[in-house]
Amino acid sequence: MNQPIERLLVLYTGGTIGMQQSAAGLMPASGFEARLRAQQALETGPLPSWSFRELQPLLDSANMQPSHWLQMATAVREAVAQGDCDAVLLLHGTDTLAYSAAALSFLLLDLEIPVLLTGAMLPAGSPGSDAWPNLFGSMRALQAGRVEGVRLFFNGVLLHGARVSKLRSDAFDAFAEAPRKRSAAAASEHPPMLLPQQPAQVVILPLYPGVGAAQVQALVASGAQALLLECYGSGTGPADDAPFIEALRQAHRQGVVLAAISQCPGGHVDFGVYATGSGLRDAGLVSGGGMTREAALGKLFALLTAGLNQAQVEHWFCRDICGEMAD
């Protein structure tokens, strides 16, 4: 258990938790600090001392992009460097909350303070909203020293930032750690500090009957530095499609990182089970084991933006560095 915190930074990025009604529908709104302090006055029991910062522009998290992951990571690092906090609570919309939690798990890998993300399915102030329970529950989890690394707090449950997925869109228990096999070997050497140095473009390609070389070639031509294939089952795909396999081989020769995860909600990649899996492995794909889409995307992005080359990215992608692949 970590030490209880004394100085908390609440970093508000937008999302449903602070939205207010507009003519076009619910939209992120400024002024949430005053609403939060007014509500805290009604809470019973101790809460940590906190400061507040809005990250501009405030976003509906459906508009969140990888550049915003970097913006959030930079804001956290700057606050820590200035000595402003010993923990961060990041308020975020739910649509891409799991993606941001995963990305920050890698972008803040070296950070010693806890970072906790939360949001709400209904705006604060709406009848029966989960906003205040999620927000003050997060503060109490941090205050009690229960949070280590990057985590997500939702509906009373503390979840691993690099394992969580949004599984429901209409219930308060919308988030859970996907039930995936996590048995990858932990890294024997210390992972690198993943400080952003260059742009990175990671593209996801779900496999489906009919996918072929044209899709791979188009994504590579778009500038993809990594191609994350969501494979069938244990990491299989159309290995008897010679043009498709050759397109993968050509992409790999061009320096594109080829990575694989399972598209099954509870799946994991084991290329050796089927010949169609080993065919993908032989084309240059590396296994993401039981990583979720969110974790694999965030991990590839963090590795590439840190300036690692193809071989280095492949090396670290296959190894557990923060609990994303191993229990």
Is there a domain that residue 153 lies in? yes
Same domain, 129 and 214: no
Q: What digits encode the pLDDT tens for the residues 192-219?
A: 888 999 999 999 999 999 999 999 999 9
CATH code, domain with 227: 3.40.50.40
Q: β-strands 164-166, 175-177: how paired?
A: antiparallel
Is there a domain that residue 193 lies in? no
Same domain, 123 and 78: yes
Same domain, 172 and 214: no
Is there a domain that residue 187 lies in? no
Q: What digits encode the pLDDT tens for the residues 9-52?
A: 999 999 999 988 788 788 888 999 999 999 999 998 899 999 99
CB neighbour list of residue 264: distance below 8 Å, 6 or more residues apart:
232, 233
Per-residue pLDDT, 3: 67
Per-residue pLDDT, 29: 86
Is there a domain that residue 259 lies in? yes
Per-residue pLDDT, 187: 67
Q: Residue with structure tokens 């296959």?
A: 318
Per-residue pLDDT, 21: 79
Same domain, 130 and 253: no
Angle, helix 242-253 to helix 275-282, in steps of 10 degrees: 30
Rounded to 5°, the CA angle 302-303-308 comes to 140
Per-residue pLDDT, 20: 85
User: In whole angstroms, what is the distance from residue 151 CA to residue 48 CA?
Assistant: 18
Per-residue pLDDT, 127: 94
Per-residue pLDDT, 181: 83
* Residue 292 one-letter amino acid: T
User: In whole angstroms, what is the distance from residue 309 CA to residue 225 CA?
Assistant: 10
CB neighbour list of residue 232: distance below 8 Å, 6 or more residues apart:
207, 262, 263, 264
User: In whole angstroms, what is the distance from residue 38 CA to residue 57 CA?
Assistant: 24
Phi then psi for residue 109, to 5 deg, are -55, -35
Domains contained in the chain, number: 2
Same domain, 146 and 262: no
Same domain, 18 and 114: yes
Same domain, 18 and 161: yes
Give the catalytic positions in this structure.
16, 94
Is there a domain that residue 115 lies in? yes
Same domain, 159 and 281: no
Contact 229, 205 (CB under 8 A): yes
CB neighbour list of residue 18: distance below 8 Å, 6 or more residues apart:
12, 28, 29, 32, 35, 58, 91, 123, 124
Is there a domain that residue 183 lies in? no
Per-residue pLDDT, 271: 94
Per-residue pLDDT, 177: 94
Per-residue pLDDT, 213: 98
Same domain, 130 and 260: no
Three-state SS string over the chain comes to CCCCCCEEEEEEEECHHHCEEECCEEECCCCHHHHHHHHHCCCCCCCCEEEEEEEEEEECHHHCCHHHHHHHHHHHHHHHHCCCCCEEEEECCCCCHHHHHHHHHHHCCCCCCCEEEECCCCCCCCCCCCHHHHHHHHHHHHHCCCCCCEEEEECCEEEECCCEEECCCCCCCCEEECCCCCECCECCCCCCCCCCCCCCCEEEEECCCCCCHHHHHHHHHCCCCEEEEEEECCCECCCCCHHHHHHHHHHHHCCCEEEEEECCCCCCCCCCCCHHHHHHHHCCCEECCCCCHHHHHHHHHHHHHCCCCHHHHHHHHCCECCCCCEC
Tell me the residue range of the domain where 234 lies: 202-318
Same domain, 136 and 259: no
User: In whole angstroms, what is the distance from residue 20 CA to residue 294 CA?
Assistant: 28
Same domain, 207 and 299: yes
Give how far the C-alpha of residue 236 lies from the chain's centroid of Cα atoms, to the nearest Å: 25
Is the model's pTM score more than 0.85?
A: yes
Contact 227, 205 (CB under 8 A): yes
Q: What digits encode the pLDDT tens for the residues 231-245?
A: 999 999 999 999 999
Task: Point out the residues of the chain with pLDDT beneath 70.
Answer: 1-4, 185-187
